[in-house]
Amino acid sequence: MVATALAAITAACGGSTAAGIPEEAFPVVANADLAVGSQRLLVALVTAEGDSLAASEFPVEFDLYSPEETQPSFTVTGNFMWTVPEVRGLYRAEVTFDRAGRWQITAHSPGGPPGLLIPFDVAEEGRTPEVGEPAPSVGTRTAQEVATLSEISTDPDPDPRFYELSLDAAVSSGRPTVVVFSTPGFCVSATCGPMLDNVKLVAADFPRVNFVHVEIYENLDAATRQELNVVEAVEAWRLVSEPWVFVVDSTGSIAARFEGAVDPDELKAALDELS
């Protein structure tokens, strides 16, 4: 079974506050596949009691310390986005890691003192396909091969457009493609459904772009989670977490990638770059 990167913070998803960051608050890096180079960092802000402090009006900065350094290597501002609307969210920031190893992160209000240092790992190389790499070509089941979409999707309100093309046909079609790896019916962190919903909202504005939803599991009627089998595409794309969204350009190369959650404006911007 694919482990979701956000499962570790599922319990830390209570209400939010617009007050200053409490002294006991600390950041939790939600990425499962960070590597040297430019990365989209995702961070949850939680307390020891399990309360989420994320809110759109709650500004936060993160200091990042490279391995063995005692002073911040750089500071970034967190841009908030809802992962489950009005329930919980994450902060995102574009960062560049210049070395692999055990990094540390701390959170604070803008201009405020740093808080607790929390370690996280950065690998020399990532596992998931990077921007510029060819999109792995692998077949997926389509609407034409099943009696109902419920055989290939746990989305309670599936958009038929997302199941018209096999993944390999889409990425080799000569048109841009958006690929969503998610399993709304089995997602531990409950972010898969909202992420897929965000992509469906964007799809209406891009009629000439292929959109493909790939379920994480192939036997959706399994009696227990232990009996679920991961689809071939998940293995071929080397996913170590879910959900993921990839933007593939008309030549079949990865143009953008989003782990864990994607804001509609982020996805629109990535697609506008291809037009």
The 10s digit of each residue's pLDDT in 230-240 is 999 999 999 99
In sequence order, the β-bridge partners of residue 245 are 180, 258
Q: Based on the domain organization, do 118 and 147 belong to the same domain?
A: no
pLDDT average, residue stretch 233-260 = 96
pLDDT confidence bin for 20, thresholds 50/70/90: low
The chain-wide mean pLDDT, for the chain, equals 87
192 and 160 in one domain?
yes
- Identify whether residues 239 and 157 lie together within a single domain: yes
Is residue 249 assigned to a domain? yes
Instruction: Examine the domain organization and report whether 147 and 118 are in the same domain.
Output: no
pLDDT, greater one: 206 or 195: 206
Do 110 and 14 share a structural domain? yes
Confidence (pLDDT) at 182: 93
Residues 215, 94 share a domain:
no
d(CA 52, CA 60): 13
215 lies in some domain: yes
Residue 216 within any structural domain of the chain: yes
- Position 180 in a domain: yes
β-bridge mates for residue 269, sequence order: none
pLDDT tens-digit profile of 109-137? 888 888 889 999 999 999 999 999 999 99
Q: Please check whether residues 85 and 178 belong to one and the same domain.
A: no
In terms of domains, do 148 and 209 share one? yes
- Supply the pLDDT for residue 15: 38
As a whole number of angstroms, the distance between CA 241 and CA 173 comes to: 27
Domain boundary among 92, 122, 152: 122
Q: Which one is predicted more confidently, 10 or 83?
A: 83
Arithmetic mean of pLDDT, 3-10: 42
- For residue 58, give its domain range: 7-122
Q: What is the 3-state secondary structure (H, E, C) of the chain?
A: CCCCCCHHHHHHCCCCCCCCCCCCCEEEECCCCCECEEEEEEEEEECCCCCECCCCCCCCEEEEECCCCCCCCEEEECEEEEEECCCEEEEEEEEEECCCEEEEEEEECCCCCCCCCEEEEEECCCCCCCCCCECCCCCCCCHHHCCCHHHCCCCCCCCHHHHCCCHHHHHCCCCCEEEEECCCCCCCCCCHHHHHHHHHHHHCCCCCCEEEEECCECCCCCCCHHHCCECHHHHHCCCCCCCEEEEECCCCEEEEEEECCCCHHHHHHHHHCCC
The pLDDT tens digits of the residues spanning 44-67 come to: 988 777 777 766 667 889 999 999
Which residues, in sequence order, are CB contacts of 138 under 8 Å at separation 6+?
A: 167, 168, 232, 233, 236, 237
pLDDT computed for residue 127 by the predictor:
94
pLDDT value of residue 56: 66
The answer to whether residue 134 sits within a structural domain is no
CATH number at residue 103: 2.60.40.10
Statement to judge: residues 83 and 166 lie in one domain: no
Domain boundary among 122, 153, 168: 122
Q: Distance between terminal CA atoms of the chain?
A: 37
Assess whether 259 and 178 both reside in one domain: yes
Structural domain count, the chain:
2
Same domain, 150 and 60: no
In a domain, 242, yes or no: yes
CATH number of the domain to which 236 belongs: 3.40.30.10
Per-residue confidence (pLDDT) for residue 55, from 0 to 100: 65
On whether both 174 and 235 belong to a single domain, the answer is: yes
For the segment 161-189, what is each residue's pLDDT rounded down to a tens digit?
A: 999 999 999 999 999 999 999 998 877 56
From 89, 122, 155, the end of a domain falls on 122
Q: Is 136 domain-assigned?
A: no
Q: Does residue 149 lie in a domain region?
A: yes
